[in-house]
C-alpha cells in the first residue's frame, strides 16, 4: 500500500533555530504554559496542541478512545518527526511508501510575505532532509509562497524544491486571489515546464486563520475543519471554469485530504451548466469540465465509503487512498481493516489501483 497523504510533526524549534537571524524573534514556535503547549504563528493563530497532532497516533496505537486530554508537543509518537521511526510505523501499517505533507499548515496564511517565504524555505529544506533518509519510501511536498503580485517567489521555490528532490509542490486551498484569474498564467506555465504534481491540501491559505481560531476540540474548531474538508471543491471549480487545465494540459493537480464523495456531484452540475451555457462562457471551454478533471486532477481519500460508491462516475486511475498518519481522521495502524470495510466487493485490480498503483505512477515510485 502507498499512502498518498500523510503528515509530519515538525521539530518544536525548527524555525527558531533555522530562520535567518532577522526573523527568529517572529518564528513559528511552541510555547509551553501550565494548561498546555501552544502553536504560535504570527498573524494567524495561537492554538493549543491536542491529540490531532502526533499524540493521536499514540492513542490510536493503544486502541484507546479519543478524549480532550491535554497533550504536550513532545508526547508525539516518534514516527511523526523522526524518519527512521517513521519507516517502522509504516511497516506496522503495511505501508510501502507515502507522500508527506506538513503538520504546521498555518504558515500559508502568514500575512508578512518575507517571513512566510523564509519559513517555507526552512520547511522545504528540512522535509527534503527528512525524506532523503529513504527517498523510495518518503515523498516530500514543498510549500510554495503564493503572492499574487509576486509570482516569481512561488516559481523560484518550485524550481528549488525540484532540485532538492521533493516530489510535489503545495499551493493553498484558499488563496487571496481566486484561481480562475489569468494573472496566474506565468505560474502555471512554469509548473507545467517542471512537470511536478501540484497539490492543494485542506486547511491551507487564508482559510487557515479561521479554522484555527478555536481551541482544538471545541465545536467551532470542528465546524471549521469540516467546512475546509468539504470546501476543497472550490479550488477545483475555480481552476476548471478559469480554463487552467484547458490551457495547460501538462499540469497535474492533486486535491488532497478532501475525500472523493463530492466529485461526481460537482462535475455533473458543472457539465450540466456547460451544456446549456458553453457558447457564451468566458473563457471558452471546448470540452465539458469533467473532461479536464478526469484528465488532469487526482484526489486522495481515507475513510470514504460514499466516494467508493460513485466510482463508476470517476476516473479510477486518478484516485489515491491515504492513511493520514498521524492525524485524527487517519486509519493508522488499522488501514487494512478500513480498506476491507470501504472497498469490500471491489475487483482486486481496481482496489490495487486505489491503494497502490495510482500513487506509484503519479509520484514515480515504481
CATH no. for residue 98? 3.20.20.140
What is the separation, in whole angstroms, between the first and last Cα of the chain? 12
pLDDT value of residue 205: 74
Which domain, by its residues, includes 102? 2-362
pLDDT exceeding 70 applies to what percent of the chain?
87
Backbone angles phi, psi at 173, to 5 degrees: -65, -40
Q: Is the dihedral of CA 41, 234, 155, 176 positive or negative?
A: negative
Predicted confidence (pLDDT) per residue in 4-21, tens digit: 999 999 999 999 999 999
pLDDT value of residue 210: 39
Mean pLDDT, the chain, rounded, equals 89
Predicted confidence (pLDDT) per residue in 235-260, tens digit: 999 999 999 999 999 999 999 999 99
pLDDT value of residue 61: 63
Domain count across the chain: 1
pLDDT value of residue 213: 46
* Residue 272 burial by Cβ neighbours in a 10 Å radius (0-12, 13-18, 19+): exposed
Backbone angles phi, psi at 154, to 5 degrees: -65, -40
pLDDT value of residue 211: 40
Residues of the chain with pLDDT under 70: 50-70, 206-230
pLDDT value of residue 72: 81
pLDDT value of residue 208: 43
Task: Read off the pTM.
Answer: 0.92
pLDDT value of residue 221: 56
> Cα(23)–Cα(199) distance, rounded to whole angstroms?
28
Amino acid at each position: 500500500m502507498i499512502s498518498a497523504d500523510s503528515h509530519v510533526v515538525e521539530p518544536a524549534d525548527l524555525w527558531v533555530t533555522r530562520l535567518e537571524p532577522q526573523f527568529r524573534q517572529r518564528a513559528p514556535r511552541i510555547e509551553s504554559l501550565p494548561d498546555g503547549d501552544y502553536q504560535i504563528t504570527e498573524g494567524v493563530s495561537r492554538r493549543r496542541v491536542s491529540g490531532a497532532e502526533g499524540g493521536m497516533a499514540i492513542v490510536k496505537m493503544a486502541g484507546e478512545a479519543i478524549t480532550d486530554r491535554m497533550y504536550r508537543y513532545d508526547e508525539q509518537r516518534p514516527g511523526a518527526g523522526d524518519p527512521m521511526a517513521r519507516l517502522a510505523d509504516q511497516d506496522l501499517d503495511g505501508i510501502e511508501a507515502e507522500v508527506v505533507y506538513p503538520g504546521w499548515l498555518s504558515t500559508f496564511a502568514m500575512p508578512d510575505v518575507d517571513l512566510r517565504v523564509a519559513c517555507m524555505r526552512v520547511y522545504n529544506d528540512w522535509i527534503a532532509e527528512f525524506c532523503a533518509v529513504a527517498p523510495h519510501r518518503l515523498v516530500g511536498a514543498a510549500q510554495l509562497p503564493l503572492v499574487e503580485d509576486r509570482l516569481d517567489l512561488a516559481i523560484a521555490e518550485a524550481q528549488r524544491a525540484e532540485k532538492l528532490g521533493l516530489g510535489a509542490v503545495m499551493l493553498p486551498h484558499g488563496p487571496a486571489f481566486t484561481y480562475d484569474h489569468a494573472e496566474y498564467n506565468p505560474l502555471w506555465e512554469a509548473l507545467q515546464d517542471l512537470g511536478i504534481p501540484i497539490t492543494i491540501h485542506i486547511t491551507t491559505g487564508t482559510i487557515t486563520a479561521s479554522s484555527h481560531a478555536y481551541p482544538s476540540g471545541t465545536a467551532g474548531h470542528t465546524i471549521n475543519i469540516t467546512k475546509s474538508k468539504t470546501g476543497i471543491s472550490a479550488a477545483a471549480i475555480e481552476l476548471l471554469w478559469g480554463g487552467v487545465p484547458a490551457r495547460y494540459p501538462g499540469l497535474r493537480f492533486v486535491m488532497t485530504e478532501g475525500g472523493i464523495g463530492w466529485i461526481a456531484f460537482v462535475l455533473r452540475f458543472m457539465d450540466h451548466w456547460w451544456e446549456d451555457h458553453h457558447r457564451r462562457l468566458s473563457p471558452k471551454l471546448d470540452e465539458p469540465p469533467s473532461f479536464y478533471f478526469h484528465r488532469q486532477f487526482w484526489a486522495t481519500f481515507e475513510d470514504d465509503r460514499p466516494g467508493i460508491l460513485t466510482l463508476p462516475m470517476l476516473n479510477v486511475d486518478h484516485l489515491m487512498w491515504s492513511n493520514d498518519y498521524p492525524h485524527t481522521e487517519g486509519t493508522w495502524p488499522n488501514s487494512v481493516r478500513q480498506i476491507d470495510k470501504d472497498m469490500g466487493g471491489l475487483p482486486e485490480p481496481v482496489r490495487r489501483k486505489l491503494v497502490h498503483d495510482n500513487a506509484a505512477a503519479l509520484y514515480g515510485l515504481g
